[in-house]
Chain A
Amino acid sequence: MESSTISERQGAEVTGCPVLHHDFSKTREMGAYWQLANELRESCPHFYNEYSGGGYWVFTRHDAVNDIYKTPEIFSSASITPWEPDPIYRFVPTQVDAPDHIKYRRILNPWFSPKAMEAAAPMIRETCRGFIEPIVPKGECDFFEEFALRFPTAAFLTVIGVPVSYTDLFVGWVDAFFGGFGGDPEGAQGMATALGEMRVFWKEQLDNRRAEGHREGDLFSYLLDARFDDEPLDDEVLLDMCTVLTLAGLDTTRAELAYMFHHLALHPEHRQRLIDEPDIIPLAVEETLRYYTIIFGDGRKVTRDVEFHGVQLKKGDMVYGLVSGANRDPRHWEQADEFVIDRKRNNHFGFASGPHRCLGMHLARREMAIAVDEWLKVIPNFELATDAQLFERGGGAMMSLSTLPLRWEVNA
């Protein structure tokens, strides 16, 4: 793609680009990462972030983040974590570039399409009710522990054909993996162990289907039948696919759910609006994904020397598109810093953009919409059950609360 801000000129002047030293893996007070993104965006369109092992370019505004996503031939997905240009894992198809990427996506797209999710919706709703019903009479819960952590995991396992009894096992793996994903060295060992254990599990599932025959509604059977250039997928690729599906599908939805319910706990007028007009729940979900995006930023690896938005990038450099900056950039959005519950022109990057847009987005949205709908039917009024400061995990691994105490009145 040619644009006025991307050119192949060599030796261009690089001006006004500060060097900063931010650690995006730290736990901070809830909301601190969006505030940081706002400050970075308004103080500079780009900067170089140095850390002990190296450094990478950060682009803070909507126009540049958009151009990174729209130019995958320059910004490769070989690594999506700029602090780790050569990660120990490989996500397929997340870290695969053209021309192979789309071939993998076309295998997976139908399984996670809106039509497939429509068909799965009654089962997802049933799963959701199963988690809410025992909570209602208690009058309080830790929304994160008791609902957000478990419902998306159970829904995902059902959608791919794994018994829900494995929920706790998966919750543990996903936690351990993301302990290291954001660049915190203390989490590295746990991340490697979780990766290894998950791969053993997937391998057992695949071997089981090979030995005992294929099943209906089972993703493993489907993947064993899939063809890439007329050839079956080899085991390494199958395992790389299963790994990313698990990690991307479980950790993210629970984080978004918790931010959404935190918002609803503080905004009775928005709860009432969604009860009165359930048709706008999908719009409220999209606004949650914009305003409370859990994607602090998205990394890419530069494939060739290029001048980009005034910065001379070199082949092999890592860049970080500050999605959380873009999603609230007043240069792009009207009422950028307000939660507009029925926002329609909502072209946010909460699911990324370009060829690597989130595969599981249709599942995630549906889980969130069903969760809000079902919860408000039985718990229309609720509030935070603590005055204590809430904290969020570092944005490098995607922001997430770790607890959300809620309470409500129980009708006798």
Chain B
Amino acid sequence: MKLQISTECQGHGRCYTLAPQLLSSDDEGYVTISGGDPIEVPEELRELAEDVVGSCPENAISLIED
């Protein structure tokens, strides 16, 4: 399972606030993986990853199943 964040990210910061163990912000407040490669999410963090997807007002976050 992977998490991907598109360039639609506007730096609301809800994803990396909810899941600091997965995501972090750059110096302007955008998530660092915005527009970049997806990151691996361990199975035990599935619910958290789903919360992260639902927290984004830009619908910029998607979960990719293996």
Contact = CB atoms under 8 A, between A and B. Distances in A.
Interface of A: 70, 106, 109-110, 112-115, 282, 286, 344-349, 351, 353-355, 357, 361-362
A361 B12 CA distance: 8
Nearest to A106: B28
A354 B58 contact: yes
B11 to A, nearest CB: 7
A322 to B, nearest CB: 16
Contacts of B2: none
A112 B13 CA distance: 12
Given A346-B55, A353-B12, 10 more contacts: A109-B11, A109-B28, A113-B25, A114-B29, A115-B29, A345-B50, A345-B51, A345-B53, A347-B14, A357-B11
Contact of A351 (B12, B50, B55, B59): B12
B55 A347 contact: yes
Contact of B54 (A106, A345, A353): A345
Contacts of B59: 347
B28 A362 contact: no
Contact of B55 (A114, A115, A344, A357): A344
B4 interface: no
A353 B55 contact: no
B17 A355 contact: no
A344 B49 CA distance: 11
In the complex, the 7 A-B pairs of residues with the closest C-beta atoms, listed nearest first: A345-B54, A109-B28, A344-B51, A113-B29, A353-B57, A347-B57, A357-B10
Residue from the set A112, A282, A344, A355 with the largest chain B CB neighbour count within 10 Å: A344
Interface of B: 10-14, 16-18, 25, 27-29, 50-51, 53-59
Nearest to B48: A344
Nearest to B47: A344
A163 B19 CA distance: 36
Contact of B29 (A347, A353, A362): A362
B41 to A, nearest CB: 16
Contacts of A346: 14, 54-55
30 contacts: A106-B28, A110-B27, A110-B28, A113-B25, A113-B27, A113-B28, A113-B29, A114-B25, A115-B27, A345-B50, A345-B51, A345-B53, A345-B54, A346-B14, A347-B14, A347-B54, A347-B55, A347-B57, A349-B57, A351-B57, A353-B10, A353-B12, A353-B57, A353-B58, A354-B10, A354-B58, A357-B11, A357-B57, A361-B12, A362-B13
Contacts of B51: 344-345
A344 B57 contact: no
A347 B10 contact: no
Nearest to A351: B12
Contacts of B50: 345
Contacts of A355: 10
A280 B14 CA distance: 13
Contacts of A115: 25, 27, 29
Contacts of B57: 347-349, 351, 353, 357
A361 B58 CA distance: 15
B6 to A, nearest CB: 12
A405 to B, nearest CB: 33
B55 A345 contact: yes
Contacts of A109: 11, 28-29
B29 to A, nearest CB: 4
Residue from the set B25, B28, B50 with the largest chain A CB neighbour count within 10 Å: B28
Contacts of B29: 109, 112-115, 362
B13 to A, nearest CB: 5
A104 to B, nearest CB: 13
Contacts of A351: 12, 57
A353 B58 CA distance: 7
